[in-house]
Amino acid sequence: MESKLLQHETLHVDALRLLSQLAPSTFIDALALAAIGFAFSAYLLRGYAWEKPDPHQHLWFERPQAADVEGSSGKGKDIIIFWGSQSGTAEGFANRLAQELPRRFHLEAMAVDLSDYDPDTIALLPRTKIAIFILATYGEGDPSDNACSFCDWLAQIKENALSSLRYAAFGLGNSDYQHYNRVVDRVTAGLERCGAESLTPVGKADASRGTTEEDFLSWKESLCDIFRERLGFAESSGGLEARRELAFKVLEDVSLDLSDLQAGHPAHVLDSGRSGSSFQIKPLKIKRSRELFTSSSRNCLHIEFDLTSAPELTYKTGDHLAIWPINPNQEVDHLLTILGLSEKRATPILISALDPAIKVKIPSPTSIDALFRYYLEVGAPVSRDTVHGLASFAPSPAAKKFLLSISRDRDTFADFLSRTHATVGRLLEMASKAAGESSTWQGLPLSYLVEVLPRTQPRYYSISSSSITSPRAPSITVLVANTELAGSNTPAVSIPGLTTSYLLSLSNSLCSTGMPRNREKLTYALAGPSETLEGGLVQAHVRRSKFKLPALSSCPLIMVAAGTGLAPFRAFIIERARLRSIGKPVGKMLLIFGCRRPDEDYIYREELEQAAQSLEGRLRIVSAFSRMDGTPKIYVQDREKVNLQRPKVAELEAKTDID
């Protein structure tokens, strides 16, 4: 016992001696000790006295409709028009239909972005409401980015879950591609599986025939027939002639500070639930641009971009690069002049929706100039529906008569458009001249143009480089075509591509010699909004693609392409050549490539021949030339039929792991 007490006292003395050594001996020591104590106390009080959690933090990660199921179910609306759009065409159709149905049938309608809508609430729609789906097919039969979540949801819900739903559907596609209108077919099959009732046969637009607009108008009239004859909806006495109510309000506000305006930077693109999407829009510098070929009506560019300034941007072989275009100065100035707004181009404007259910897709506040230069496509040909609507705002009876006469039927308007490729600015000028007037269209509301003109959308280009060999320098292959107007008395007049002509002008600005000038002599504000693109930059983002090389490099591959469709296959071949050079097993490849003439537009020919050599027999190239003098026209389809009948190639095709 005594030993234990002695041990305890010794411990006590040792502890005191240790504590005395740790005691602060100077003012600095005392200050440091106080700081440590304060920091420790602050840490213990975290979440109580400071940095309290925000009870509303979760709202940043919810859809707006999730908090209001009643509102998201279209309360007060008779018809809900859901759109899935990649280029903006389906969106435009949905918005136009949502404006027309109230005029013709006194029905309350709203157009809805599928990515903004909680799919679960679709099952809550009562039978008294009608759903309309306007859906584009994109890429390899894929839904548009904003329709992906909806398509996934529809594939997973139980049978008969939508037994109270009545619907109509319209699809946009291109019959030149294998999966023509695949999305609308999948959606309608899913709706049928879930017990929904279709009111009318599915409508389909075919871009390969250039009839997308007319296909929609024809389907729309069939739908209106169903509304009248089957559902008993009474059509207003004015019918289609009734003057439309505007969906937006545009107010000039000179009190706005110029620094607060949206100067023209692209609106943020949401990934809409698509796995692996990358939609960070960044200004990318053109690293190098070279001419692949040039002819009297076409030229082709190979453009490389530098990702050094955007380390967060990455790509994989097979992905797409999206380029945000700028409207040419000529079209912008033309439109501002005919509207009588040339002197007011810098005026700040506020854009708002008159219906809370409608989302304003254009950044606001902005300026009139930025609206027409960056946010609306003013260089696109106008639709027949839009021409008909413009007649309501004509400055004179004669101008109105002209617009109604050219849009009276499908054939008349098609003939007019083929001869004029009339943009909105040129059309308004034609109407005034036809009426023998020189007046401006000052009575045309900006809100109407915001409603009917398509929003500027990025154009997607297959990346033609490999992420293995050029991880920070993606390249694209751009064909600049100058299509002459049919029956035009002035052969010099042609139809310029919006983004391709912009990229050509930008490439010209970076090269002192060797690059052809734009045949239309179009000029652009290449410095961009607030001069953020000065020095050869473009606004761009990377979009993930399902069009990839097989996971196994030893897998055989068959590739069929014409013209610039070669771009992704160039990337595939470059990547496999690199893998072969480092000793990786590489499967055999067959490339069937078509162009007009071998000495005119056989792009990347030397590169392909060098790759074939380095791959030591693992790449075979079959060419097809459609316009060689003195020989029959041969297309890739012809070469495909012949070559795929050969036993070895047929065996190769059977082993190919590409859809």
pLDDT digits (tens, 9 = 90+) for 235-272: 886 555 555 678 899 999 988 888 889 999 987 644 44
d(CA 597, CA 114): 45
Which residues are CB-neighbours of 279 under 8 A, at least 6 positions away?
A: 268, 269, 270, 271, 541, 543
- Give the CATH class of 557-654: alpha beta
> What is the per-residue pLDDT for 87?
84
Among left, alpha and beta (phi > 0; psi -120 to 50; other), residue 212 is: alpha
Same fold, 74-230 and 246-269+278-380+453-485+493-547: no
d(CA 394, CA 397): 7
* Phi/psi of residue 369, nearest 5 degrees: -65, -45
DSSP state, residue 58 = G
* CATH architecture of structural domain 74-230: 3-Layer(aba) Sandwich (3.40)
Beta strands in 295-340 (DSSP E): 298-306, 320-324
d(CA 16, CA 31): 22
Q: Calculate mean pLDDT across residues 197-216.
A: 93
**């740790």: which residue's tokens?**
22
d(CA 357, CA 74): 8
Alpha carbon 43 to its chain's center: 47
Take residue 169 and report the two structure tokens written for it: 């559907």
Using a pLDDT cut of 70, give the percent of the chain over it.
79
Higher pLDDT, 475 or 269: 475
Task: Say if CB 353 and CB 360 are below 8 A apart.
Answer: yes
Give pLDDT tens digits for 414-442. Answer: 999 888 889 999 999 999 998 787 778 99
CATH T-level topology, domain 246-269+278-380+453-485+493-547? Elongation Factor Tu (Ef-tu); domain 3 (2.40.30)
Could you tell me the pTM of the whole model?
0.81
Alpha carbon 237 to its chain's center: 39
Q: What three-state secondary structure class fits 571? A: helix
Domain boundaries, the chain: 74-230, 246-269+278-380+453-485+493-547, 557-654
> What is the per-residue pLDDT for 434?
86
> What is the per-residue pLDDT for 271?
42
> What is the per-residue pLDDT for 23?
57
d(CA 355, CA 348): 22
DSSP state, residue 64 = G
Instruction: Report the range out of 19-23, 128-132, 237-241 with the highest average pLDDT.
Output: 128-132
DSSP symbols for 32-47: HHHHHHHHHHHHHTBT
Residue 50 has pLDDT above 60, yes or no: no
